[in-house]
Amino acid sequence: MNAWINNTFRQAAWAPIAVFIFYAFAAKGFNAYILYPDLDIPTHFFGGIAITYFFLVSIGHAQSLIGRVPPIIQMPLALGLTAITAVVWEFLEFASDFALGTKMNLGVSDTLSDLFFGLLGGTVMVLMASRIKPLVKNA
């Protein structure tokens, strides 16, 4: 179990962490999302790619514990986990606005746009992964 977690984090955790660091640096360091509101679109798109990559690698490494998972299951599973992650993220933005008075959520259209571009990025990642060699050796 520890090997699965260590291998997954060693290979793939950098991707969502990099997107989050970019977001934090741009938002807090430069007010980039206020000055350039459309920057939110590529951030969610690349966030979807990054988190889906993380889940695909995690599923690949988990096969050493649970047995072979066919790609036809891996791909929708990773995309489903990405969708759950995106929804939880949007709930956390709403909760932060409600409880802490932040202004992260700009309304329903902003939330739906964030979800759409995150899932679009996830879909692109799944399509790319389906056309290349496995992300995890011996998967």
- 109 inside domain: yes
What is the tens place of the pLDDT at every residue in 68-88?
999 899 999 999 999 999 999
- 69 inside domain: yes
* Number of domains forming the structure of the chain: 1
- 138 inside domain: no
Cβ distance 58 to 10 under 8 Å? no
pLDDT at residue 64, rounded to an integer: 87
Cβ distance 78 to 44 under 8 Å? no
Domain that holds residue 68: 2-131
- 38 inside domain: yes
Please name the residues in contact with 45: beta carbons below 8 A apart, sequence gap of 6 or more.
117, 118, 120, 121, 124
**pTM listed for this prediction:** 0.91
Cβ distance 17 to 63 under 8 Å? no
Flag whether pLDDT at 115 surpasses 80. Answer: yes
- 55 inside domain: yes
Confidence of residue 138 (pLDDT cuts 50, 70, 90): low
Query: DSSP secondary-structure letter at 133?
Result: S
Name the residue type at position 86: A
pLDDT at residue 2, rounded to an integer: 84
